[in-house]
A and B are shown apart, each in its own frame.
Chain A
Amino acid sequence: MHPAPSVIVFTSLSGLGFGLLVFLGVGLPPVTGWVALVFYLIAYGLAVGGLLASTFHLGHPERALKAFTQWKTSWLSREAWLSVAALLVMAVHAFAAVFLDSVLTLVGWTGAALSLVTVYSTSMIYAQLKTVPRWNQPLTPVHLLSLSIAGGALLAGQTTLAALLLTLAAAVQVAHWQMGDSALSRSGTDLSTATGLGPGTVRAFEPPHTGTNYLLKEFVHVVGRRHARKLRLIALLFGYGLPVLFLLFPGAGHVLGALAVVSHLAGLVVSRWLFFAEAEHVVGLYYGKRVA
């Protein structure tokens, strides 16, 4: 799949933002007043900024409100509802914490739950697609949720918890890569089933046009295996390894904490780039671009 910058930014930032909202909702840390204001500004900046970035890749952003209508069948529509609900409920919680100095526990927990479900609905937009076997696996929601929660814990300053959750998320990340690498061949879809021209060998002889097209640009992105392996190491190192080291450093202060966040963010973006760039859409088979 084409790794569109707007989608990478959207899913990375909003995942982090909603992850932080989960922790603020359950009172980790139990902040009020000015400190709370700063935390909420960061959380809303990430979540809302991410959502806004997602509208950049729309052909008609001015009609975005129509995306609320099909929640019965569409995960994208559900995501729209859930994100707005999470942001509204958490706004009430934030208002009480910042201006009234009071913690509305029930509201907070509801907002935290909604934030979690929002991230889940985002992950299901990808996980539901049978056309992209690498995404079409139960580990996809686990991967995106674990990353979001770990990043949230990191931003919320939950040192030990964050280190634990990052380690967990790293394990899920590796498993998602492992399962993903064989997903296309396990899916049973290949050029033979795509064309119905088997048994025997089928080879793409000539594409429909000499030039490129929307399908090739959007769905057929080929990353070299060596290149991908290098990027995976970078994602693991910056996204998970270094932040955990920084957090566990005895007497880790704000500087190391900030370094951990920056490093995680960099690793997260690389991981998300790979999430898209490595995902093989089965339509590539018709163009002889996939070896299944």
Chain B
Amino acid sequence: MTELPATTQKKLGLVIDLDTCVGCHACVISCKGWNTENYGAPLSDQDAYGADPTGTFLNRVHSYEITPEDGPAQLVHFPKSCLHCEDAPCVTVCPTGASYKRAEDGIVLVNESDCIGCGLCAWACPYGAREMDAAEGVMKKCTLCVDRIYNDNLPEEDREPACVRTCPAGARHFGDLGDPDSAVSQLVEARGGMDLMPEQGTKPVNKYLPPRPKQDRAAETDTRAPQLKPVAEDTKGFFSWLDKALDRLPGGASDPDKGGS
């Protein structure tokens, strides 16, 4: 049903740490792998080894260059997948009921056997979180790895989204953002977690942790500069004699005729 539930018992989602993400794209690959081998239509590629490859991805990593008002420029890697919005516009526009938001945990899913592939839900999503699979003609989106998080066949440590499990930097966290005492909620609280495009009114469940401001190290370089000055200006000993002797040779550094051609 495309009517949104008034409330959901849980608000499962991700917290993505923009300070920690190193932009390795491991989450992109693990997401593609898990969601191709498991629930639903596989995520297809077109012309994968040709000149113009394209493919379906549920998670993509952008990179942005930011220059804060006070502070040096920074490079920020920016993973983006479905934010499982509370007011999900993608759900209400769907004419078939294929798109829905679960009342029990807030996950936004597509029932692929009902989807007519009209694409309207992707039009309605401001974040580019939905992609039509070119081979299957149905809408694909992040499932929050619903087939992992409740999967009793997996060892307990694997019962979290593939992207979270795989991230080598620990930049992705999974949990219940509806519970103020959960680890993810605490993290959001402590680090000033934010919404993307709040003005669109989608009320995203996923939160992003802003990059910590970087120290301006230019000043530090200056304080160390004196220490890098030569310790002895007038040299003596064998190497000093050799240095001067070489300089005196034709083509030597101090030869006024030959030097600096």
Contact = CB atoms under 8 A, between A and B. Distances in A.
A199 interface: yes
Interface string A114-156: 0000000000010011111000000000000000000000000
Contacts of B53: 211
Contacts of B60: 208-209, 213
A39 interface: no
B3 A283 contact: no
Given A59-B132, A282-B197, A73 B2 contact: yes
B103 interface: no
Nearest to A220: B128
Interface of B: 1-3, 18, 25, 28, 52-57, 60-69, 71, 75-76, 78, 80, 89, 91-98, 114-120, 122-128, 131-132, 134, 136-139, 194-201, 208, 210-211
Interface of A: 1, 57-61, 63-64, 66-70, 72-77, 80, 125, 128-132, 187-189, 191, 193-197, 199-209, 211-215, 218-219, 281-283, 286-287
A219 B137 CA distance: 17
A188 B126 CA distance: 13
B97 A200 contact: no
Given A130-B89, A214-B134, A74 B95 contact: yes
A220 to B, nearest CB: 10
B94 A63 contact: no
Contacts of A282: 126, 197, 200
Main secondary structure of the interface of B (DSSP, over half): loop
B201 A69 contact: no
A66 B64 contact: no
Contact of A75 (B78, B93, B117): B93
Contacts of A67: 95-96, 116, 118
Nearest to A61: B116
A87 B3 CA distance: 28
Contacts, number: 187
A201 B155 CA distance: 45
B208 A206 contact: no
B184 to A, nearest CB: 17
Given A189-B200, A195-B196, A213-B57, A202 B128 contact: no
26 contacts: A58-B137, A59-B117, A59-B136, A66-B116, A70-B94, A70-B95, A73-B93, A74-B93, A77-B95, A80-B95, A129-B124, A131-B123, A131-B200, A132-B123, A191-B64, A194-B126, A197-B76, A200-B67, A200-B71, A208-B62, A215-B128, A215-B131, A281-B123, A283-B125, A286-B62, A286-B127
6 smallest CB-CB distances across A and B, nearest first, come from A59-B117, A59-B137, A208-B60, A283-B128, A77-B95, A76-B95
A100 to B, nearest CB: 36
A60 B65 CA distance: 41
B200 A208 contact: no
A130 B201 CA distance: 9
B220 to A, nearest CB: 22
Of B25, B116, B211, chain A has the most CB atoms within 10 Å of the CB of B116
Of B96, B124, B136, B208, chain A has the most CB atoms within 10 Å of the CB of B96
Contacts of A203: 64-66
Contacts of B52: 211-212
B68 A199 contact: yes
A132 B118 CA distance: 17
Contacts of A70: 1-2, 94-97
B96 A66 contact: yes
Given A128-B93, A193-B197, A214 B54 contact: yes
B97 A196 contact: no
Nearest to B136: A59
Given A189-B200, A203-B65, A213-B57, A283 B117 contact: no
Contact of A194 (B69, B196, B211): B196
A211 B53 CA distance: 6
Contacts of A61: 116
